[in-house]
Amino acid sequence: MTLEVIVLAAGKGTRMRSALPKVLHELAGRPLLEHVLDTVRALTPTRIHVVCGYGAESVREQLADAEDLNWVEQAQQLGTGHAVRQALPDLEPGSLALVLYGDVPLIRADTLRALLERASGGPALLTAEVKDPSGYGRILRDGAGAVEAIVEDADASETQHDITEINTGFIACPADRLRIWLDEIDDSNRQREYYLTDVVGRAVHAGATVASVSCADPDEIAGVNSQAELAKVERCFQARQAESLMDAGLNLRDPARFDLRGNLHFGEDCVFDINVVVAGDVTLGSQVSVGPNCQIIDSEIGNGVEIRANSVIEGVKIADHCSVGPFARLRPGTVLDAGARVGNFVETKNATLGEDSKANHLAYVGDATVGHRVNIGAGVITCNYDGANKHPTVIGDDAFIGSNSALVAPVTVGKGATVGAGSAVTRDVPEGQLALTRAEQQVRAGWQRPKKEKKN
């Protein structure tokens, strides 16, 4: 039996207090809906149908690269049963339908597989036992323990409100039977909506067995309806990731203060201090040390690298045994060759620092190619932008750039050349030569500093 997945993603999410469609709010740097889609893809369905409504154009645009999705629009939000009806015409006869939600991102593929295994002859529900069932539909069972109906929270009696087994909203059912039972439900309830859960009562009436699978982990079924709930789900997701990374050998000084918003690959004996954020695709070698409050985005970092506190690294390639920070910012296009050092309050962009070169403090190096064993002093800047275009700076091996100098690009400083402190270099400096542009110092004997007049 082929599998067809229906993801309900039409809600606005009024309690989010946001113009953004709820399923596009981000969890670990990606939309909630993307997490759900990644999970169901692990089930290898024939097709994935996404039912969207509020902000449908934005949702489709955000996931435009996902070619395996069939978009279904629910123009009016008349309940979950109505939403599923919109997708039914696209389901293949004889298939098995799985219905889940775009705002419940922590569900695991293994849990869904267990649900699908119980749905060969009729509906199978994912249920859970919770301490506080408020807001959830309650599972009603007969004397033998068989599921006979689901009653929504708004329609439940006082006695039914005490039931702690709840409906999670996930249901698997043969598509042909689901189609029949959905055609039989109506909106005769307090909400005046077509409830998907009413399918259970119709199935029981038709003599079908309604199976159930209990979800042991309440985090899996946590939906996102408010900013507070989104924050809780974020912490749950990050805790999962931290545990998985530590199992793989990563040393996290405090896993509760670590965020991964992408993919992280690493070698042996890597250590992360607190409040490190990793985003995009990041690869580390072995024995990499990352200090507190660092952000690393889409970068490759070699063996034995030390990244000190409060550094930001984005779109960078760092070779073995380099040192970065503290308080350094390495922007996209930066390449550090082996043994290079970038120190505190240094910013680089589209720049290569050769082996054992160093810019230890208070410098800006942009659109530059720096050779081996170059020393870039404090306060040095490469003036790469003329207000319209960017220009390159080239610094040869073993050059020395004195403090508080400006290299006005395009310009080349030759091998072994020296730029004296405080110089503004506007022409190329030959190999091995000294360039000085500062004014000659003057000392005025007997000069007196002005003094304020005393007031009477």
Q: Active site residue: 49, 82, 321, 361, which one?
A: 361
Among 189, 203, 32, 194, CA closest to 125: 203
Distance separating alpha carbons of residues 322 and 284, to the nearest angstrom: 13
Based on the number of CB atoms within 10 Å of its own CB, is 387 exposed (0-12), middle (13-18) or buried (19 or more)? Answer: exposed
Contacts of the segment 320-327: beta carbons below 8 A, 24+ positions apart: 320/285, 325/291, 325/294, 326/291
Among 142, 93, 113, 120, CA closest to 42: 113
Q: φ, ψ for residue 199 (rounded to 5)? A: -60, -35
Assign 180 to helix, strand or coil: helix
Return the exposure string of 144-178: e unless at least 16 CB atoms fall within 10 Å of the residue's CB, then b.
eeebbbbbbeeebeeebeebebbbbbbbbbbbebb
CB 92 within 8 A of CB 179: no
Q: Under 8 Å CB-to-CB from 231, ≥6 apart: which residues?
A: none
Active site residue 265: no
Distance separating alpha carbons of residues 138 and 135, to the nearest angstrom: 9
Q: Which residues are catalytic?
A: 361
